Structure 1
Amino acid sequence: MRISLSIGLAAGLGLSIVSAFTMAQTDEFPSKDIQYVIPFGPGGESDISARLQQKYFEEITGEQLVIQYMPGGGGAVGWSQLAGMSADGHTIMGSNLPHIILKPMGQDVGFATEDLNNFFYFHYSPDAILVRNESPYQTLDDLIQAAKEMPGAVTFSGSGTYSANDVANTRFQQLADVTTTYIPFKGTGAAVTALLGGQVQAEWGYTTVAANHDDKVRMLAVASEERHPMFPDVPTFKELGYDMVGGAYRGMAVPDGTPVEIQQQLSDIFQQINQHSQFRQEMEDLGFVLMDVPVDEMDAFMSERMDVYEASARELGLID
């Protein structure tokens, strides 16, 4: 009896010590700078929004949000390495939809969708077709007519294979009954550079690209339910007779094994940033559409997106 009691007391004491240690770790989080890995090159939407978050992250936590880049494979290079990174919460990585769902369906990319522990999704940018200001394509009909006359001759830049841009291009070709040439780049920044440099005739980009380069490009159509308030003169695809609504969702993930309590704290911190009136204004001025999907709503959100992208995967020929 004494032995059992002693073992019980020791076990209870051990659990108390572990719980106290875990609580102390959580209370002190973050205890150093957070490494924020962007799995794309600089200059794209993931980079832009991360840089806007930096100021507010420091105000809330007193620590720095240090941005690093790991481009390649339309995000796959970074996501394939996330599992091997530190799981103490001080390393986070940008997480993008539909990329993290579609890429593993199409080929062996070194990661599975469930490998990414998403803790917060915070914005969305609608797909859009953009051309340079001097482009002969004044309207979407102009571009479609050219694509019909010369199948494959109209070239688009975009962000990686099986990205939101790739999905949009595939969907557009089917709806408009045209054939175009889609050229995947490492991220939006590189895709914009290709458009501005004349390497391609058009870009599958987002409203954010038009907002950042309004003196150099124009949108022909946007894949949102309603016209974007920043671009009231730009029609939606639906207005023009093409049932297209979609874009890229962006959030953040941590390596497997990151404590649940830490994931909750990270979610809370970035949700607080997302609700800051000045941050919201800065994001909206750049064409972003803000959203809040905290960690406790993530499973339902991801399940919903999985259903949507499975349909896209069939259109792309990734699954039967």
Structure 2
Amino acid sequence: MAAALLFSTTLQAQESQFPERDVQYIIPFGPGGESDISARLQQKYFQQITGNQLIIQYMAGGGGAVGWSQLNEMDGDGYTIMGTNLPHIILQPMQQGAGYQTEDIKNFIFFHYSPDALLVTNDSPYKTLDDFIAAAKKTPGAVTVSGSGTYSANDIANQRFEALADITTTYIPFKGTGASVAALLGDQVQAEWGYTTTAANHSDKMRPLAVATDERHPLFPDVPTFKELGYDMTGGAYRGIAVPRSTPDDVTRELSEIFSDINANPEFRKSMEALGFVLIDEDVDQVEDFLAEQQRQYQRVAERMDAGQ
């Protein structure tokens, strides 16, 4: 009798393990971007931890809005997860036609960010951030900077820094980081709001004047942070993962723990940091407060942007 009870308990424990099969990981952008790169680096460690695969699929459109607007229509069994991005999921719903609200998205972790960086070409006359600021103050609006589209993380970074440094530049939005980089390297603009990841990919051609991290980035030990130069600015493009709202809380928590374990893996961390990312671990218990703080920051910038229109 005791043996039968033990067998039954063991069987129930085995049956309740999650995940029991592969998990579909939807990236709401096209292949090749930083969200895709991150997911592919996570695949190996997900399999090591769970014995199952992360199957990456794409649902591009609307800067992620196509995927996020459909997330809650998907099965809430834990076997469908979707990448999420900030500031996208906060700023998009502030505009009409996003198809979803920020609170519709059940995030269970934010695991890293691409720190904002003000970039110039290696031969730029701006050797320091002070040089850039001085030029912008001398002739307001004359200094041109490229970045991804309006209301993107790059646009937000530009707005935040203009307010902190009391300068005015001309921000020119492009369709994606690649086009923004091309504009800088082609001398169409004088600087670019990009990321440490961008600088890492193009270190032979461009350099950051400052980075939006709390401490100097290990890839750029000679580049100061905005903070140490007197500008209280950290952040960038944050990446997380969400599930449909119908997903049970215990399953959501299990997913959060799995991806937190991935984030803690020294080999994974080394790979991510070598690409220019900064890892964070805002798990299921911290996501709500983390998003609330980001919402406050983005709201202030959005109001400034609207006032300037």
TM above 0.5: yes
Q: TM-score, normalised by structure 2?
A: 0.83
- Structure 1 gaps of 5+ residues are 1-19
RMSD over aligned Cα, in angstroms? 2.8
- Of 74, 91, 104, the match for 2:80: 91
- Of 122, 127, 131, the match for 2:120: 131
Q: CA deviation at 1:138?
A: 2.9
Match of 2:62 in 1: 73
Q: How does 1:188-203 map to 2 (within 5 A)?
A: 188-196=177-185, 200-203=189-192
Name which one, 1 or 2, has greater alpha-carbon Rg. 1
Amino acid of the residue matched to residue 221 of structure 2? P
Q: How does 1:221-260 map to 2 (within 5 A)?
A: 221-260=210-249
Q: How does 1:101-250 map to 2 (within 5 A)?
A: 101-148=90-137, 151-196=140-185, 200-250=189-239
Instruction: Please tell me whether the aligned partners of residues 72 and 186 of structure 1 are also in contact (alpha carbons under 8 angstroms).
Output: no
Instruction: State how far apart, in whole Å, the 2-side matches of 1:132 and 1:232 are.
Output: 18
Instruction: State how far apart, in whole Å, the 2-side matches of 1:184 and 1:74 are.
Output: 14
Residue 313 (1) aligns with residue 294 (2): no
Amino acid of the residue matched to residue 39 of structure 1? P
Q: CA deviation at 1:206?
A: 1.5
> Aligned with 2:118: secondary structure?
strand
Residue 286 (1) aligns with residue 272 (2): no
Residue 32 (1) aligns with residue 21 (2): yes
Residue 54 (1) aligns with residue 49 (2): no
Match of 1:6 in 2: none
> Aligned with 1:253: secondary structure?
strand
Instruction: State how far apart, in whole Å, the 2-side matches of 1:160 and 1:146 are.
Output: 24
Match of 2:254 in 1: 265
Q: Which stretch of structure 1 is more off in the superposition, 231-240 or 309-318?
A: 309-318
Q: CA deviation at 1:158?
A: 2.6
Q: CA deviation at 1:250?
A: 1.4
Q: TM-score, normalised by structure 1?
A: 0.80
> Aligned with 1:67: secondary structure?
strand
> Aligned with 2:245: secondary structure?
coil
Amino acid of the residue matched to residue 247 of structure 1? G
Instruction: State how far apart, in whole Å, the 1-side matches of 2:78 and 2:174 are.
Output: 30
**1:280-307 CA-partner distances (Å, limit 9, x unpaired):** 1111222222111221232232223333
Q: Percent identity?
A: 68
- Structure 2 gaps of 5+ residues are 1-8
> Aligned with 1:270: secondary structure?
helix
